Structure 1
Amino acid sequence: MMKNIGNNPIHKHQVNHIRAKNKRGNWLAVILFRISRRDFGFCLTALFLFCLGSIFWQLNGGPPNILQGVRYYFGQSTFTDDHGPIAPNVLPFPRKVVYNRVGKCGSRTIVLLLRILADRHQFTLVSSDIHNKTRLTKHEQGTLMRNISEIPQPFLYTRHVHFLNFSRFRIDEPVYINIIRDPINRFLSNYFFRRFGDWRGEENHLVRTPGMKDEERYLDINTCILENYPECSNPRLFYIIPYFCGQHPQCREPSEWALEKAKQNVLEHYLLVGVLEELEDVLLLLERLLPHFFADVLNIYKSPEYKKLGNLTGTVRKHTPSLEALQVLYQRMEYEYIFYNFARDLFHLTKRKIGLRSGPRPSRRHRSPDPNAQEEEQDEEEQD
């Protein structure tokens, strides 16, 4: 007698299990088939490139120099353990620094320090003698940037010139640094310097402005401001922002566009933008951020030998305009002050990150211009 196993529960369970297993196997085969068709070529290509890279790695005696340099920069101890002392031709980062110095913002003080530092630390310092050509044609921009890129490294190049966008010309970009100051103080320093020079000798203003007539040279600054002479009005007062905005024609006119472009360039291209009112902190940050160039700069700045040179850079015959004239200037320089406060806040943020706690000076955005307070600031300054 034959048993009817079709209705056996155990048999049904086994059949269902086999069907489910076959079903899962079919789905797995479909998935593997789809993946292999789509990605098999990519996997082989990646494996081939990995093997090829390993071969070149070994044939070249190890990792490329750029990877060794990066590893040295982020961790010297582990690098030395694996590779021994670093080769003499591998330099600390960065190797290229551009200081497109803003006029009457302590640039002569910094250049004096750089000449001492270049001899001490053996880097190439190129300080351009071109003072009155900050705006360049496209051809001039390309030529200047190519010339800068050919300077022996490590180098620091400095010139009064508006921001140059190296990446636009497909040239390796350097590290940018700069220093700015209170816009009204900068204007006053420039106004009197053009007319009367500095403590190096009052006759040097005759060399800088030989064609200036006496009525212009001795023009009262209050008259210049309140009667809206070209030198004391826009666009001549729109001076600091173009150094950071760049070479675009719109950078030369006071506008929201130029202001925002200058802010963007500071955030994207500048390692540090310091403020002259806190020069010692600026030097300390430069020493921390660029030790190959600025190591021991603060001690040099405070040394008696340097003070003898630095004291000669102060502008002579400088005095403060009336309160009415200061208020007019402040209104005309609204964009300049927005940018100055932005850069100063960014500078203070960098100080906090580094660990400096010195307090900032009060800002003009919190008070009206005070002639007496400003005169005290001018007396303290010797960095022009």
Structure 2
Amino acid sequence: MMKNIGNNQIHKHQANHNRGKNKRGNWLAVILFRISRRDFGFCLTALFVFCLGSLVWQLNGGPPNLLQDIRYYFGQSTFTDDHGPVAPKVLPFPSRVVYNRVGKCGSRTIVLLLRILADRHQFTLVSSDIHNKTRLTKHEQATLMRNITEIPQPFLYTRHVHFLNFTRFRIDEPVYINIIRDPINRFLSNYFFRRFGDWRGEENHLVRTPGMKDEERYLDINTCILENYPECSNPRLFYIIPYFCGQHPQCREPSEWALEKAKQNVLEHYLLVGVLEELEDVLLLLERLLPHFFFDVLNIYKSPEYKKLGNLTGTVRKHTPSLEALQVLYQRMEYEYIFYNFIRDLFHLTKRKIGLRSGPRPSRHHYNPAPRAHADEQDDDDAGHN
């Protein structure tokens, strides 16, 4: 009997052990099931985020902000370095500037300054060496504008070229700047530069006008004007306005239409058009309006190092025509002077808005026939007359 009682106790102990074991097994199964379901959901979520991130990456051409945040949360990684760029640097506004420089209006002075400024302020400067092709075909216009937009920003592009209407070709328009000069002074500077060069060496004119014969090279300026040589009459004298009128064929002929179109383009497309006779104020305004490009430009311009370079660009052998010849020139350049006075008035208005005082102004129909030394120092390469 004692043996049976012992056996019953043993069986009961085993049963209790088995029930405890089964209960632990059931709990373990439940825990494993819950963990597996949680892991499965996590994997699905991770897969969804990865697919969504990849889609956004491809659509935007770069990694989405979420992946960037994850990268910075877990520390720097080479993944985005290998598969896409980091967030771009903040660009100045505006970050795209075009200077379609007018020949013999101080553009060489500005280009010399820009080369120094580009190195100091880390912007891309593209200065075209094409000086004799200002008018382009429609295909050439579109190609040039697309090339300009592909320049790494911030950039400043400069070339002797008539105004390009980016919006006409549905291309985002850059900011335009320019400088002009008293039309007769510009003409005289160009006339003598083509013949005798500048202080960099008189042999420069041989490169600019290699086919010019001696009788043309030494042609007296008064004879050229008063005897109506082609170089000293229209349409050759109609030079500044086409740079602002644009590429339309009518922009090449002296007319009220071309004049008004040039004015309209200045008002709608140009941030600033200065006058060379007030160059220091032009530089000061450029520094105020485009600080990323022109910061400290006035101090550079006044430095002895720069003056040494700038003084080499003055045209040599330049002299003043007779009063009679000047009066003839003025009559032939009537549209040019209307436009010049318009730009000068607009420039003075901008100076007043900024808080700069304008210097003494001559009357609307006054022309000072004496070439000014200040203007001589700002002469630049000839842009051609094509």
- State TM-score, norm by structure 1: 0.75
1:202–1:355 Cα change, 3 Å: same
Percentage identity across paired residues of the two chains: 92
Distance of aligned partners of 1:31 and 1:90 in 2 relative to their CA distance in 1, 3 Å threshold:
same
Query: Distance between the aligned counterparts of 2:76 and 2:209, measured in 1?
Result: 53
More deviation, 75-84/181-190: 75-84
CA 1:56–1:212: 2 relative to 1, 3 Å: closer
In 2, Cα distance between equivalents of 1:73 and 1:47: 20
Judge conservation of contact 2:313–2:380 (CA < 8 Å) in 1.
no
Change (3 A) 1:379 1:291: closer
Deviation (angstroms), 1:361: 3.7
User: Does structure 1 retain, via aligned residues, the 8 Å contact 2:313–2:379?
Assistant: no
Q: CA deviation at 1:42?
A: 40
Task: Render the CA deviation track for 1:280-326: whole Å, top value 9, x for unaligned.
Answer: 00000000000000000000000000000000000000000000000
Asked if the contact 2:162–2:243 (Cα under 8 Å) also holds between the matched residues in 1, the reply is yes
d(CA) in 1 for partners of 2:253 and 2:27? 68
CA pair 68-221 structure 1, distance change in 2 beyond 3 A:
farther
Shift, 1:90, TM fit: 1.5
Q: Which stretch shows the higher mean deviation, 89-98 or 186-195?
A: 89-98
1:102–1:180 Cα contact (<8 Å) kept: yes
- Give the Cα separation in 2 of the matches to 1:79 and 1:166: 38
Distance 1:66 1:185, change over 3 A: farther
Change (3 A) 1:217 1:81: closer
Q: In 1, distance between residues paired with 2:209 and 2:377?
A: 27
Unaligned runs of 5+ in 2: none
> How many equivalent pairs are there?
384
**Corresponding residue for residue 210 of structure 2:** 210
Distance 1:10 1:246 in 2: 110
- Once the two structures are superposed, residues 114-146 of structure 1 have per-residue CA deviations (whole angstroms, 9 ceiling, x without a partner) of 000000000000000000000000000000000
Deviation sequence 1:16-64 (CA, Å, 0-9, x none): 9999999999999999999999999999999999999999999999999
Relative to structure 1, is the Cα distance of residues 176 and 227 closer, same or farther in structure 2, using a 3 angstrom cutoff? Answer: same
Q: Which has the higher contact order (CA 8 A, sep 6+)?
A: 2
Decide which structure has the larger Cα Rg and report it: 2
Q: Distance in 2 between matches of 1:4 and 1:346?
A: 122
CA deviation vs aligned residue, 1:165-220 (integer Å, no higher than 9, x gap)? 00011111000000000000000000000000000001111111010000000000
Secondary structure, counterpart of 1:178 in structure 2? strand
Q: Distance in 2 between matches of 1:367 and 1:20?
A: 115
Structure 1 Cα separation of the partners of residues 380 and 58 of structure 2: 61
Q: Deviations over 1:211-255 (max 9, x none)?
A: 000000000000000000000000000000000000000000000
> What TM-score do you get using the length of structure 2 for normalisation?
0.75
Aligned partners of 1:69 and 1:90 also within 8 Å: no
Q: Which runs of 4+ in 1 moved over 2 A?
A: 1-88, 366-384
Please report how far the alpha carbon of residue 362 of structure 1 lies from its aligned counterpart in structure 2 after TM superposition. Answer: 1.6
Change (3 A) 1:373 1:107: closer
Q: Deviations over 1:71-90 (max 9, x none)?
A: 99999999999999997611
Pair 1:65–1:376, CA change in 2 (3 A)? same
Contact 2:276 2:375 in 1 (8 A): no
Aligned partner of residue 101 in structure 1, secondary structure: coil
